[in-house]
Structure 1
Amino acid sequence: MNNQPPPELSIVVPFYNEENCLIPVCSEIIKVLTEGVDCPWELILVDDGSTDRTADLMDSLCTSTPPVKAVHISPNSGQSAALEGGFSVTRGTYIAVLDGDGQNDPRDIPILMNELKLRDVHLMCGIRANRTDTRLRKLSSKIANHIRNAILKDNITDMGCAIRVFRRQCLERIQFFRNAHRFFPALMLRAGYTVSEMPVNHRPRIKGTSKYGMGIQNRLWTGIVDLAGVYWLTKRTLSYTIRENHATLNKEDQ
């Protein structure tokens, strides 16, 4: 049982077979948190059933750096499962997420957190400025964002941007399922929370290749099925008002 006071900020980073990226990515995150975040923090590293040395490197890092914790899920279950596993052990008032490949800049975390507070919203999303991805990946992302926005009407510019900061209270009303992370802002809006966005830095991958969502054709068909499911979910939401003791409470039943 952890008797330490909870930190203000928890950072969750999923990894799957990232033995070449883990140490440099985590070292940079820890440096940013130590030097650029003026509040208590914790770093949650999630091993999504890796088959290389990712788990061992993660455990070693946790031993040498107390604010860092390791979570291991098995078998490999995808990014949404990895994030949910990480969220389950967080204690911070605010939770930040970013990918483990080094493309997200951890220096954007305190900026997103400050903007979330200033704008008084529940979720602050990043918009990848000057993306370093291939033309094909940029094009497919643009088309996917356009289609998703037309159907869900969530007005999110860059759903594929992994770096986000949100208030811990939001987890109470968010349902997780496979690939739910791709629709996190839409699910937040559906639950009645407020969402905003701002440009963030985007960088080339440090080493290796992408492990999540490999294959354009596979991602396309999976995305269509997921989009249909989320659309159905939003249309099935119950919205009503309760009046009790002369006080009116707005409530949405998931």
Structure 2
Amino acid sequence: MCQSLIYNNLSIRYYFPVMTTIKSLSIVVPVYNEEDNLPILFAEIERAMSRTDKDWHVIFVDDGSKDRSLEVMRQLAEKHDTVRYVVFAQNCGQSAAFKAGFDAATGDVVVTMDADLQNDPADIPAMLQEYERGFDMVIGWRAKRQDSIVKKIVSKIGNGIRNRLSNETVKDTGCSLKVMRTSMAQLLPMFTGMHRFLPTLMKMQGAKVAEVRVNHRPRQHGVSKYGVWDRTKATFFDLLAIRWMQKRTFRYTIREQK
């Protein structure tokens, strides 16, 4: 069955999910000062994707790095035709980096992940298999997080509040490892903090979403780009915006048209 959705002044037509086969994928990786992690990450992605029969490429999005990250990206792109990159003129934030990656994506689906090696590329094949069962989005659930006690507690509380106010049941909306239908990801609204609400924003387009357990690893190189409390404050105001959008979104079904 086909339905039409009016969202953010856009008319979107979508179909209820059915079993599908992924032919190609774009792996979007925002980067900010991760020079030591990029070669390791790409090698891990290559190993993971060798277990699949999909065409793939990585899109590194340099969010105004001040270290050698861009130089490393260029070197990887020279050696591997599966590496592409987008470079911002200045730091714009993770949401902007994801959006730029979505817009540059040419694969049937986009896979998102962090560049800090805490997400494990080895989880990607299983997530792709789940997606092919008929979902529009598959999100990772870090059942055993490798973070500090404070970050775990704050994240758990924040996730609970976020779910309560947005009528969600997502176990781990903060996990960057996700698989999404490209055509839907490219229609997501642009605003700072968007990346924290991707499952909700996709559902507002009619997406069918699944969650799977994924590995989570401690950071080996570099430092975290987020403070616990400043992120909590920003998320609260973003959540109010999401709640407003949910209330203002409507759907209609077309029975006949000439």
Tell me the TM-score normalized by structure 2. Answer: 0.88
Matched, 1:109 2:124: yes
Matched, 1:52 2:67: yes
RMSD value, Cα = 1.5
Once the two structures are aligned, what percentage of the paired residues are identical?
A: 41
**Runs of 4 or more consecutive aligned structure 1 residues displaced over 3 Å after TM superposition:** none
Matched, 1:21 2:41: no
Specify the code of the residue in structure 2 equivalent to 1:224.
F
Please state how far the C-alpha of 1:172 moved relative to its aligned partner: 4.6
Q: How does 1:98-177 map to 2 (within 5 A)?
A: 98-118=113-133, 120-177=134-191
Please state how far the C-alpha of 1:7 moved relative to its aligned partner: 6.0
Distance in 2 of aligned mates of 1:27 and 1:73: 24
Q: Which runs of 5+ in 1 are unaligned?
A: 1-5, 247-254
Distance in 1 of aligned mates of 2:106 and 2:46: 18
Distance in 1 of aligned mates of 2:220 and 2:27: 20
Specify the code of the residue in structure 1 equivalent to 2:36.
N
Is the CA contact 1:7–1:91 (under 8 Å) kept in the aligned structure 2? no
Distance in 1 of aligned mates of 2:257 and 2:93: 46
Distance in 1 of aligned mates of 2:216 and 2:227: 21
How many residue pairs end up in the alignment?
Answer: 237
SS at match of 2:253: strand
Tell me the TM-score normalized by structure 1. Answer: 0.89
Is the CA contact 2:102–2:186 (under 8 Å) kept in the aligned structure 1? no
Specify the code of the residue in structure 1 equivalent to 2:193.
N
Q: 1:237 aligns with which of 224, 232, 249?
A: 249
Distance in 2 of aligned mates of 1:245 and 1:231: 32
Q: Which runs of 5+ in 2 are unaligned?
A: 1-21
Distance in 2 of aligned mates of 1:144 and 1:57: 35
Q: Which whole-Å deviations, capped at 9, do the CAs of 1:88-142 have from their partners, x for residues lacking one?
A: 1111111111100000110111110101112x11000010021111111110110
Q: Which whole-Å deviations, capped at 9, do the CAs of 1:1-57 have from their partners, x for residues lacking one?
A: xxxxx9611111111011121121122112222x21211111111111111111111
Matched, 1:216 2:231: no
**1:130–1:244 Cα change, 3 Å:** same
Distance in 2 of aligned mates of 1:217 and 1:92: 36
Which of 1 and 2 has higher RCO (CA within 8 Å, sep 6+)? 2
Distance in 1 of aligned mates of 2:146 and 2:229: 21
Matched, 1:94 2:109: yes
